[in-house]
Amino acid sequence: MFRFVFLPLALLATAHAELTATFRQGGETDVRLDRMAALSVPGGQPPTPFLNAGKFVVEWKGSIELKERKRLYLSFGGNGKASLTVGGEEVLSEEGTLGSAKSKRLRLNPGTHDITISYNSAEDGSGSFRLYWEEEGMPRQTIPPTAFLTEPSDEAKLGQLKRHGRLAFTRQHCAKCHTPEGGFGANPMPETGEIAPILAGIGDRVTEDWLRNWLADPKAMKHGTNMPNLIDAKTPEGLQKAADLAAYLAASKLGGEKLSAPDPTLAKAGGVVFHELGCVACHDQSAADASRVPLNNVASKYLPGQLVAFLKKPEAFHPFTAMPNFELSDDEAASLAAYLTASSEGKGTELGYKFPAGDATRGAEVAASLHCGTCHPGMPGGVPSAPGLDAVFKADWAAKGCVSESDKRPELPKMNFAEGERGELLAFSKAGSDSLKKDAAAEFAERQVTAKRCTACHAMDGNASGLETLHSTTAGLAAHVKGLNERVDQSRPPLTFVGEMLFSSYIESMLAGTAEPRPRPWLGTRMPAFTAYAKPLAEGLSRVHGFEPSVPEKVEVDPALAEIGKKLVSAEGFGCTTCHGISDQAATAAFEVGAVNFALTPGRLREEFYHRWMDNPAGVTPGSKMPRYAEGNESQRSDILEGDARKQYEAIWQWLHSDQR
């Protein structure tokens, strides 16, 4: 699956850690960049949004890059028909249930080795595929994304552009004006159903002054916003419209309880919360970094107490907000609000406009004339008389319409496109609108990893998280807290193999904020909830890795083997309980690193990943503090199960799923 980053064409011309995937179906072709050679497509759904449901073929091309000489066996997993060539020679071909065969032993020197993987789905269009490698002393495991390289072809570049444009089309809410006849169907691209913030009662939440400035120039107030400029604030008429519309919005109140502003003396404690949660990964207090959301207008935006309410439940008036729910306590929310208010006081964006007095009655008319209700539910103004979806895709977007740079009609909204977004939309316009009426779960997951800024906190595919470099910039906020830097390791788990590692049901509970207890309660940067898309995102992450979405399976436990496993995790064996707790039993000496409680394992961890992890933890997660207990399957405990490490790990797995635990 492609890494969904908005890349200039110049950067797309260089080799990077992906594979070029070419999908064919009948006479249609679609090309994209994939992180790895893996897929999981259910029958009745398309393999990509630009193809239809039904039988398909995919070919992955690129190179495997090796840092050192390896003697490898390569194999498949999944179902269908697949073949693999390395250096132009076919080394493996298999059909049906994949995985019973493997290639001959390949001696591969350091450097790059060209590979081609061809895969045919089942007749009903369902497909499942994974690519593995193994060698003496290393059990079969997924080839990591960091091992692949490709030189993107022109077709791959175009495939990426039209995908970016497709997402931009939904992010800019284009289909709210250009509506499809008959709707988007039963299984559309999920983002087509997203709505802009609900403005009912906004007069209870934000200041009229901030509303005026926001309406006058949204992009100046928040770079990266999708809100277009609907008013020309450089004219007296435009300033009056902004003032009138702001007055109308400020008059929209739900009559809720009046809230008090948090005690300013809580700001110091709030700074600690800001640092601990890693807020700096997504937010910039100076508004200088265009890649992060600015916080300089917080003090001028929120009415007393309303910032606390927002922090407690960000999705209350915007279900699809990228701001997650950290399930803050009342004290945390109050102190964080106090800090954000104090740190942004007097730093609001100065637009320099002098607004006339606003009139709410006229503002309602402005809202209707601007069709605010098209994007914001409950607002006046329905869908404008714009061309329908099919008609707009027949037009030349470069010459006419919102995307065009040459169309200066005053009635058109002035879109706030991100860099390169106009070109991406033009590429998408030539692909037609059909892809909006369907989606591929894996591509949805990759888009949401970017949209929800997951890599701001989590490393992925060998790339450090954003927080890795930014967190130290807020360390001073918590410098006075005694012992804060003496805690166990605060590293967050990487996302590289998350869909392969965890049952999708567990990923869903993490994303929904319902996982109890938390798997890593020692982390200050605790995992927040993204409730809007928890289920489809969890399912998509599984499919990215070629796995069907799944729930924990019952393990038939061998009591004798489980008893051996119990010994192995104890101080008599590998000493696992030094770092890992067992239900209510705490770890015996976890003073450097925290480890997930063993009681959570049956509901979290897929068996295949467990065995891979146990063989070589640092090989899966570089820098892991988890020790390795065997080399070449020769265990440190040669007196247990003949010293066979894999048998010992199976015994531990049996114990983890037993009543003895």
pLDDT at 259: 86
Separation CA 412–CA 399 (nearest Å): 13
Separation CA 275–CA 287 (nearest Å): 18
Separation CA 510–CA 552 (nearest Å): 15
**What share of the chain has pLDDT > 90, as a percent?**
89
31 and 142 housed in the same domain:
yes
Residue 550 lies in a domain: no
432 and 447 housed in the same domain:
no
Separation CA 434–CA 436 (nearest Å): 5
Separation CA 243–CA 354 (nearest Å): 10
459 and 536 housed in the same domain:
yes
Radius of gyration of the chain (CA): 27
What is the band of 8 on the pLDDT scale with cuts at 50, 70, 90?
Answer: very low
Residue 170 lies in a domain: yes
On the question of pLDDT at 12 being above 70, the answer is: no
207 and 353 housed in the same domain:
yes
On the question of pLDDT at 7 being above 50, the answer is: no
Per-residue pLDDT of 557-599, as tens digits, reads 999 999 999 999 999 999 999 999 999 999 998 678 889 999 9
Per-residue pLDDT of 58-83, as tens digits, reads 999 999 999 999 999 999 999 999 99
Where do the H-state alpha helices sit in 286-420? 298-301, 306-312, 330-344, 360-369, 389-392
On the question of pLDDT at 11 being above 70, the answer is: no
497 and 454 housed in the same domain:
yes
pLDDT at 234: 95
186 and 231 housed in the same domain:
no
**pTM here?**
0.94
Beta bridge partners of 502: 605
Residue 487 lies in a domain: yes
The total of other beta-carbon atoms located within 10 Å of residue 180's CB is: 17
- Residue 306 neighbours by CB under 8 Å, 6+ apart: 204, 205, 206, 259
pLDDT at 10: 36
Residue 10 lies in a domain: no
At 658, which amino acid appears? S
Residue 191 lies in a domain: yes
- In this structure, is the dihedral angle defined by the CA atoms of residues 268, 270, 271 and 272, taken in order, positive or negative? positive
Separation CA 243–CA 647 (nearest Å): 73
Residue 77 lies in a domain: yes
What is the band of 41 on the pLDDT scale with cuts at 50, 70, 90?
Answer: very high
Per-residue pLDDT of 101-153, as tens digits, reads 999 999 999 999 999 999 999 999 999 999 999 998 888 999 999 999 999 99
On the question of pLDDT at 620 being above 70, the answer is: yes
588 and 468 housed in the same domain:
no
Of 422, 437, 452, which residue sits at a domain end?
437
pLDDT at 6: 37
Separation CA 197–CA 55 (nearest Å): 40
**Residue 461: alpha-carbon gap to chain centroid:** 13
Separation CA 408–CA 329 (nearest Å): 50
Separation CA 626–CA 242 (nearest Å): 58
On the question of pLDDT at 297 being above 70, the answer is: yes
pLDDT at 17: 72
Q: Is 353 in contact with 239 (CB distance < 8 Å)?
A: yes
The first and second tokens of residue 483, run together, are 């012992």
Per-residue pLDDT of 224-236, as tens digits, reads 999 999 999 999 9
On the question of pLDDT at 3 being above 60, the answer is: no
Q: How many domains does the chain have?
A: 5
Angle at alpha carbon of residue 199, lines to 194 and 200, rounded to 5°: 120
Q: Is 568 in contact with 574 (CB distance < 8 Å)?
A: yes
Separation CA 516–CA 507 (nearest Å): 12
Q: Of 161, 299, 172, 164, give the one whose Cα is nearest residue 224.
A: 172
Check which CATH number belongs to the domain holding 92 and give it.
3.90.182.10
Check which CATH number belongs to the domain holding 307 and give it.
1.10.760.10
Q: What are phi and psi of 473, to 5 degrees?
A: -70, -15
Q: Of 52, 36, 115, give the one whose Cα is nearest residue 439.
A: 52
pLDDT at 5: 39
On the question of pLDDT at 397 being above 90, the answer is: yes
Q: Is 507 in contact with 643 (CB distance < 8 Å)?
A: no
114 and 190 housed in the same domain:
no
Residue 156 lies in a domain: no
335 and 384 housed in the same domain:
no
249 and 319 housed in the same domain:
yes
On the question of pLDDT at 4 being above 70, the answer is: no
Of 491, 510, 544, which residue sits at a domain end?
544
- Structural domain harbouring 481: 441-544
451 and 464 housed in the same domain:
yes
Per-residue pLDDT of 319-360, as tens digits, reads 999 999 999 999 999 999 999 999 999 999 999 999 999 999
- Indicate the SS3 state at residue 636: coil
Residue with tokens 């009681």: 599
Residue 362 lies in a domain: yes
On the question of pLDDT at 98 being above 60, the answer is: yes
Of 368, 388, 405, which residue sits at a domain end?
368
What string of DSSP letters covers 138-172? EEEEEPPGGGEEB---HHHHHHHHHHHHHHHHHHT
pLDDT at 16: 59
The first and second tokens of residue 345, run together, are 């006081």
139 and 24 housed in the same domain:
yes
- Residue 202 neighbours by CB under 8 Å, 6+ apart: 211, 249, 250, 252, 317
pLDDT at 485: 83
Separation CA 124–CA 10 (nearest Å): 39
Q: Is 59 in contact with 116 (CB distance < 8 Å)?
A: yes
The first and second tokens of residue 500, run together, are 């392969």
